[in-house]
Amino acid sequence: MLGGVLRGVSSLGALIACALGTIPGHTADLPGRIDPDPPPTVGVPIIAAAPAPPQYSVLVFGGRMSTTDIYSTALWNLTRSDINQAYDNWIVGVAFQRDIWRWNKFVVGAELGLADRFGHYERCCDVIVKSSNMLHSGELWGGIVLRHEGYLLFNAVQIGAGVIGGFSAVTKSIGREREREITQGGNALFLFYMGAELTFSTPAAPNLELVTRLHHRSGASGILGGMSEGYNVSVFGLRWRF
């Protein structure tokens, strides 16, 4: 009899297990894990590299050719009262520069320039020979540039300076240069070139410069062409650096 009871209990347990297996199970929703606040992000300053300075420039200039020496021309002939005619022909030109080496505010570069010298004075000025036609004389020069980028004055004007040394060739001589050829028995077609300039710019437009330059051709006491001086001129122009 006891065995029958045990078999009955076992059958009942199996029946309950099967019934429970058919009921869908549910799990209790447990709250998700809450992570602690992430550590604050520390901002790393981004240091932008300074823009590279311009390496190229173009200068456009013009002026009136001087009949005096280099020193008087550099002062726009304001100190000379003993000359009858201080100027004769004209010049307009363009000069291209490229910076090659830079240290602090000093820059070494190269320049190539082209100009048209023109006017009616075939010879000037001890003996004056004028032409009814416009005379033209082309000039090509090139040389080494040494310049200083200058200093900012009163937080308003940047003043710099430069000097160019090289060679100059012309298609023919006119005006005061032609007269010097005749009196010195020389040839001014190929001479030394020297340019000395001051530049002015503002912080608002640092790449645009107002330029005043002494434009000088010389044989350096007869080394080239048997000439002393060729032509001198103080020019004004605008330079754009890029």
Question: What are the pLDDT digits (tens) for 124-172?
Answer: 999 999 999 999 999 999 999 999 999 999 999 999 999 999 999 999 9
The CATH number covering residue 84 comes to 2.40.160.20
Please tell me the distance from the alpha carbon of residue 163 to that of residue 237, in angstroms, as a whole number: 16
In a domain, 221, yes or no: yes
Question: What are the pLDDT digits (tens) for 191-202?
Answer: 999 999 999 999
In a domain, 6, yes or no: no
Angle among Cα 142, 145, 151 to the nearest 5 degrees reads 145
User: From the centroid of its chain, how far is CA 74?
Assistant: 25
Angle among Cα 65, 149, 57 to the nearest 5 degrees reads 60
In a domain, 25, yes or no: no
Structural domain span for residue 75: 56-241
In a domain, 9, yes or no: no
State residue 82's pLDDT score: 86
In a domain, 76, yes or no: yes
Total number of domains constituting the chain: 1
In a domain, 50, yes or no: no
Question: What are the pLDDT digits (tens) for 105-118?
Answer: 999 999 999 999 99
Can you give the C-alpha Rg of the chain in angstroms?
43
In a domain, 167, yes or no: yes
- List phi, psi (to 5°) of 200: -135, 130
In a domain, 216, yes or no: yes
pTM, to two decimals: 0.79
Residues 171, 176, 180, 186, Cα dihedral to 10°: 0
